[in-house]
Chain A
């Protein structure tokens, strides 16, 4: 079975502070892992995927297979980063499994 765990429902940080959104996963094979962002009831937007190892809007995420984690990080939070963030796992061919999401609130 595939599972994604995001332990924090809400993360509040001050503008300029570092951000780390936690994600742990459970999957028997080699999954593709993603972070999606959703601003205020809008569409899901792909933020980044582990396979491309890119940095989008200053966010990065490193896949740690030993700890089965894929935490999302940003060194300096900005007010426009306030949104819901979903970690997601995909085993190919099958469904994407989403975590419960973390609401990031950046305090001015």
Chain B
């Protein structure tokens, strides 16, 4: 069964550095999402992406964040200048648009900002 994949599984970076988290959604899916889970807290929506543009974003998704679908397979989340409070698990998800009643989540990337 096709799965959403994410790389790396764990990323450690220093405060102020740029990071790019990568996701490969399921191949025929059209809608893509990023979520964040700070340790011990609930999963929070960051952004949704459809037809090469952001369709919805949360208040968390400020100018420090950006998303891109650079080619036909990858979906990336960039954090320009990381802060300590960006340390979290980041989940990517995708949805085909029709014919499925759930979003499919990846395994997550654990980001640690030191």
Contact = CB atoms under 8 A, between A and B. Distances in A.
B37 to A, nearest CB: 8
Is chain B's binding surface mostly helix, strand, loop or mixed?
Answer: strand
Contacts, number: 48
Count class of interface residues, chain A: 20 to 34
14 contacts: A41-B39, A41-B89, A44-B105, A90-B103, A93-B55, A95-B33, A95-B48, A96-B35, A96-B93, A96-B103, A98-B43, A99-B42, A100-B41, A100-B42
Interface of B: 31, 33, 35, 39, 41-45, 48, 55-56, 58, 89, 91, 93, 101-103, 105-108
Interface of A: 32, 34, 41, 43-44, 46, 49, 51-52, 86, 88, 90, 93-101
